[in-house]
Amino acid sequence: MSDLFTVLHNKNIVIPDNIREVLSECKGYTLYNTTEELSEAATNGKNNDEFEVKYDIPGKGMYVEAVVQRVKNGISANYTEAYMRRRDPETMVIADNEPTDKNRFIDKYGYAFSGLQAETFDWLKQQDLAVFFYFAGRKNIGSLGIAIAPANAAFFALGLSMLQEMVAVDELRQDAAIKSVIFVAPVFRHTHFDGKQVVVHNRTESIHELYAYNLYPGPSAKKGLYGVMLTQAEKEGWIIAHCSAVQSISPYDNVTTFMHEGASGGGKSEMHQHIIREPDGRVLLGRSTVTSEERYITIPRFCAFNSVADDMAFCHPSVQKKDGKLRIIDAENSWFVRVDSVKQYGDDPSLEKITINPTSPLLFLNIETQPGSTALIWNHIQDEPGKSCPNPRVIIPRKAVPNVVDNPVSVDIRSFGLRAPICTKEDPSYGIAGLFHILPPALAWLWRLVAPRGHNNPSIVSSGGMQSEGVGSYWPFATGKRIPHANMLLKQITATPRTTFTLVPNQHIGVWAVGFKPQLLMREYLTRRGAARLKEDQYQPARCPLLGYELNYLTIEGSKIPSRFLKVYSQPEVGVEGYDEGAEILQAFFKAELQQFLKTELLHTGKRIIDACLSNASIDSYNEIVPMSFEYEYCFNRIEDYEHISETNGF
């Protein structure tokens, strides 16, 4: 044990006292330096094909949290509870007294965290532990951390070591500062939290402590450490976007970069998917949920694309250029890919190839496997007989993704995904968005404040109705105050006038089931247009102003998209009556959610935009506050013109 402390001492790396105490007094610990070592440990040794992760729970006896199996293409872990297979959005609590708009531990549970913290350390001291160092971030943007978990939960440690770049002890830099720690103690969800997922953030002066009281990586190893990075970014005044990104290349060699944001289930991972053809070569556009009619289009040749980011991207000052476009770089070392849309062989050949024959062991979650078998991403475990888990996952190192873009990219199209339910005149809903809409910058900002979580979310435990994911759609993971993030987003949007904003639904357009085709077809169409302007007769203000501009017509490689997919009110099952009622639902939701942003700290321009929404403003009113253009390359003759407009609006 002293070897670790000696190495750290020789490198002049200070280890916090509570971490030193846990490691000095624990039953024993193993220091890991590679993901391959953790992969071997996941089943308690590479010669074991199956291992139960279990703990002695007072009052319950031995309780199995997960069953881990060694498969040919990596490690497969399945939780014994359906609840543990999705992220609970209410996991985060704040234990410190730093500024926050989130639930504080003492307010939620009625007692100070210090007592539970001491119990946590006492429990960890009784365990054999797995320990390793990680870098939360990429490309020197982020900070060094240390993970401490029970040794029998090595599968969880494996997932963490893949998501955040693992740092071998010998590779630690001289004078490096440990800025975060994650303590993993799953038994306490049973003893203290009624079986619920809980992640406690404790921001001290020198280190951000994370206490993970569950073994699902989503709320802790991924989103918890996203919160650690967001805390740093908030202090420094920049944003870590909740997004995916691809560079799309048209058959005519146009290159267009898409950045797709949205709440969980909003289509971020799906932006990396290829469009699947039917056996006869056509593309299924949608299927009517009323008549079962199917509508197809023909696209002779698809665009190619290179992946950039899957779920989060740094908008760090060091990668920006003063050219009017937002620039981003991937913030992750591996991608936590949801594969619920892959239901059978052939649904996503590219992803299937990567996961069946990986270059290094992968971690599969919620995938049905047998020891020694090959984990197949379409074999989703069942939550109950006849009901598949909606959140099957696989962790894929970004280095395993073919042609992945490793450098900063300039964003041409910044889209926002809305998970939309069926809308009819008899049962109206907010599912009134067409194939895609163009948003003025002011409306793009409003959508990022409200960030609707939407219909039938597969990623998290939810009631299924419309809820807000919060500012930036990353708010569930942030520890601080929402107004600073709202202001940063507004400044970012107004500073990047050459990036065009769109809104795109998934799942449904009115009564038509469309899956994620809208965003994929948007990618195809806008890549082909390149820097060209939309024709003046091609768009008009949407009937619902919150949807910006709707399209009058759209043709992709000679295939016309029917107007029912562009203007939902043209569907006879919806009509103007159903559309307008759906618009009222959407407007009421926005008005309710925006009230919390009307604070004195909000920028003047932001208040003007919110006031416009609250007064049912037209799209012209939004454009008067923050102008826009339909030209992708230049929204103004000179970027300086836009800077002058920003100054006159209160920046």
Residue 331 in any domain: the answer is no
Would residue 392 count as lying in a domain?
A: no
Q: Give the mean pLDDT of 20-47.
A: 96
Residue carrying structure tokens 């016309």? 560
| 97 and 209 both lie in a single domain | yes
Q: Is residue 471 part of a domain?
A: yes
Residue-level pLDDT at 467: 87
**The pLDDT of residue 381 is above 60:** yes
Percent of the chain with pLDDT over 90: 89
Give me the pLDDT at residue 648, please.
43
Band (463; pLDDT cuts 50, 70, 90): low
Q: Which of 151, 211, 137 is nearest to 31 (CA)?
A: 151
Is residue 183 predicted with pLDDT exceeding 60?
A: yes
Taking the C-alpha atoms of residue 453 and residue 265, their distance in angstroms, rounded to an integer, is 7
Task: Say which DSSP state 432 is in.
Answer: -
The answer on 129 and 272 residing in a single domain is: no
Q: Please write the tens of the pLDDT for every residue from 63-85.
A: 999 999 999 999 999 999 999 99
C-alpha distances (whole Å) from 325 to each of 255, 332, 472, 500, 608 are 15, 22, 18, 9, 24
DSSP letters for 14-58: ---HHHHHHHHHSSEEEE--SHHHHHHHTTTSTT-SEEEEEEEET
Tell me what the mean pLDDT of segment 181-190 comes to: 98
141 and 212, same structural domain?
yes
Chain position carrying tokens 């357009």: 509
DSSP state of 503: E
Confidence of residue 405 (pLDDT cuts 50, 70, 90): very high
Calculate mean pLDDT across residues 287-316. 96
Widest pairwise Cα distance in the chain: 74
User: Quick one: pLDDT at residue 391?
Assistant: 95
Question: Stretch 170-182: mean pLDDT, rounded?
Answer: 96
pLDDT of res. 2: 54
Same domain, 253 and 231: no
pLDDT category of residue 458 using cuts at 50, 70 and 90: confident
Q: Pairing between strand 199-203 and 92-94?
A: parallel
Q: Vertex 82, ends 226 and 460: CA angle to 5°? A: 35
In this structure, is residue 517 part of a structural domain?
yes
pLDDT at 525: 96
pLDDT at 639 over 60: no
318 and 415 co-located in one domain: yes
Helix then strand count (H, E) for the chain reads 16, 33
Q: What is the per-residue pLDDT for 535?
A: 86
Where are the extended beta strands (E) located within 102-162? 128-138, 141-150
Contact 145, 136 (CB under 8 A): yes
Mean pLDDT score, 430-435: 97
What gap in Å lies between CA 424 and CA 526, rounded to an integer?
29
What's the whole-number mean pLDDT along residues 596-619?
Answer: 97
Where is the domain boundary, 185, 203, 236?
A: 236
If you average pLDDT over every residue of the chain, what do you get?
A: 93
The predicted model gives 386-396 an average pLDDT of 96
Is the pLDDT at 633 greater than 60? The verdict is no
Do 591 and 603 belong together in one domain?
Answer: yes
Indicate the residue among 183, 208, 236 that finishes a domain.
236
- Tell me the mean pLDDT in the region 31-58: 96
Q: How far apart are CA 500 and CA 25, in angstroms?
A: 56
Residue 87 has pLDDT above 70, yes or no: yes
pLDDT at position 534 is 83
Domain of 221, in residue numbers: 2-69+87-236
Residue 124 pLDDT grade (very low, low, confident, very high; cuts 50, 70, 90): very high
pLDDT tens digits for 534-590?
A: 888 999 999 999 999 999 999 999 999 999 999 999 999 999 999 999 999 999 999
Instruction: Count CA atoms closer than 13 A to 25's CA, side-chain side.
Output: 12
What average pLDDT does this structure show over 248-269? 93
Q: What is the mean pLDDT of residues 241-251?
A: 96
Q: What mean pLDDT comes out for the span 467-491?
A: 96
| Residue 459: per-residue pLDDT | 73
Both 311 and 448 in one domain: the answer is yes
Q: The CATH number of the domain where 213 resides is what?
A: 3.40.449.10
Q: What ranges in 363-481 are assigned the alpha helix state H?
A: 441-450
Output the six-digit token pair for 531: 């820097």
Q: Per the domain annotation, does 358 fall within a domain?
A: no
Answer yes or no: is 9 within a domain.
Answer: yes
What pLDDT, on a 0 to 100 scale, did the predictor assign at position 638? 37
Which of 217, 236, 255 lies at the terminal end of a domain, its last residue? 236
pLDDT at 642 over 90: no
State residue 508's pLDDT score. Answer: 97
Q: How confident is the model at residue 461 (pLDDT cuts 50, 70, 90)?
A: confident
Gap between the Cα atoms of 544 and 443, Å rounded = 12
Region 230-246: what's the mean pLDDT?
97
The answer to whether residues 419 and 560 belong to one domain is yes
> Taking a C-beta distance cutoff of 8 angstroms, is the pair 333, 406 a contact?
no
pLDDT at 649 over 80: no
Q: Is residue 337 part of a domain?
A: no
**376 in a structural domain:** no
Write down the pLDDT at residue 3: 83
Average pLDDT for residues 215-228, to the nearest whole number? 95
Tell me what the mean pLDDT of segment 93-122 comes to: 97
In terms of pLDDT, which residue wins out, 535 or 616? 616
State how many domains the chain has.
2
User: Predicted confidence band at 462 (pLDDT cuts at 50, 70, 90)?
Assistant: low
By the 8 A CB rule, do 496 and 409 touch? no
Least confident of 156-165, 461-470, 589-598, 640-649: 640-649
User: 516 and 448, same structural domain?
Assistant: yes
Within this chain, do residues 630 and 484 fall inside the same structural domain, yes or no? yes
d(CA 74, CA 67): 14
Q: What's the pLDDT score for residue 74? A: 97
How far apart CA 41 and CA 32 sit, in angstroms, is 10
Say whether both 245 and 232 belong to one domain. Answer: no
- Structure tokens of 186? 């799953």
What global pTM score does this model have?
0.93
Which of 297-311, 493-507, 519-533 is predicted with the least confidence, judged by mean pLDDT? 519-533
Whether 256 and 226 share a structural domain: no
Question: What CATH number has the domain bearing residue 566?
Answer: 3.90.228.20
